[in-house]
Amino acid sequence: MAQSSSSSGNETLSMKIILAGIGKRFSKVTNISTNEVQKSVDDGSDTDEKRYLLFDVREKKEFDVSHIADATFIDESHSRNQKVGAVLKVVQERMTQNDNANNPLNVYMYCSIGYRSSALISEIVKDKEFEVLLKSNLRFYNMEGGIFQWVNEGRPIVDCNNDRTNYVHPYNGVFGKLLFKRHRYQD
Q: Distance (Å, rounded) from C-alpha 104 to C-alpha 95?
A: 10
Q: Distance (Å, rounded) from C-alpha 32 to C-alpha 60?
A: 24
Confidence category of residue 102, pLDDT binned at 50, 70, 90: low
Range of the structural domain that residue 7 is part of: 2-183
Beta carbons of 26 and 159 less than 8 angstroms apart: no
Q: 151: domain CATH number?
A: 3.40.250.10
**pTM score, whole prediction:** 0.89
- Confidence at residue 30, expressed as pLDDT on a 0 to 100 scale: 96
Burial 2-21 (b: 16+ CB within 10 A, else e): eeeeeeeeebeeebeebbee
Greater confidence, 111 or 102? 111
State the Rg of the chain over Cα. 16
Q: Distance (Å, rounded) from C-alpha 30 to C-alpha 9?
A: 26
pLDDT exceeding 90 applies to what percent of the chain? 69
pLDDT tens digits, one per residue of 69-80: 999 999 999 999
* Eight-state DSSP code of residue 113: S
Asked whether the predicted pLDDT for residue 2 surpasses 60, the reply is no
pLDDT exceeding 70 applies to what percent of the chain? 88
How far lies 88's CA from each of 38, 65, 138, in Å?
Answer: 23, 25, 11
Element (H, E) at 138: strand 138-143
- Confidence at residue 48, expressed as pLDDT on a 0 to 100 scale: 56
Asked whether the predicted pLDDT for residue 43 surpasses 50, the reply is yes
Name the domain count of the chain: 1
**What is the mean pLDDT of the segment spanning 81-86?**
95
CB atoms within 10 A of CB 138: 18
